[in-house]
């Protein structure tokens, strides 16, 4: 490897919003994440919808309208 062109690979901590702290090595310092292996729905078996600014409601409203339109056209 050439000297002086690679970033430093140092110990760092990854912190999740659930409070889980993971010690690892990375080129970045103090990484903050929203979902980790301890709180991910696939691992825990619990689904939690993170709704930011009503996105879930807008999605349901949009696709409910499209489904109704398709049903009307089929008649």
* Phi, psi of 10, rounded to the nearest 5 degrees: -120, 160
Confidence bin at 15 (pLDDT 50/70/90): very high
First to last CA, the chain: 69
What is the extent of the structural domain holding 54?
Answer: 10-73
Q: Answer whether residue 53 is part of any domain.
A: yes
3-class secondary structure, 71:
helix
Q: Angle at the Cα of 46 (from 45 to 50), degrees rounded to 5?
A: 135
What are the pLDDT digits (tens) for 30-54? 999 888 878 876 666 666 666 666 7
Q: Angle at the Cα of 52 (from 19 to 70), degrees rounded to 5?
A: 135
Q: What global pTM score does this model have?
A: 0.50
What CATH number did the domain enclosing 22 receive? 4.10.80.400
Q: Does residue 55 or residue 12 have the better pLDDT?
A: 12
The pLDDT assigned to 13 comes to 95
Q: Answer whether residue 24 is part of any domain.
A: yes
């Amino acid at each position: 490897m050439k000297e002086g062109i690679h970033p430093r690979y140092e110990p760092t901590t990854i912190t999740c919003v659930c409070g889980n702290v993971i010690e690892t090595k990375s080129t970045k310092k103090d990484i903050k994440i929203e979902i980790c292996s301890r709180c991910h729905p696939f691992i825990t078996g619990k689904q939690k919808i993170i709704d930011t600014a009503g996105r879930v409601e807008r999605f349901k409203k949009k696709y409910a309208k499209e489904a109704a339109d398709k049903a009307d056209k089929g008649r």
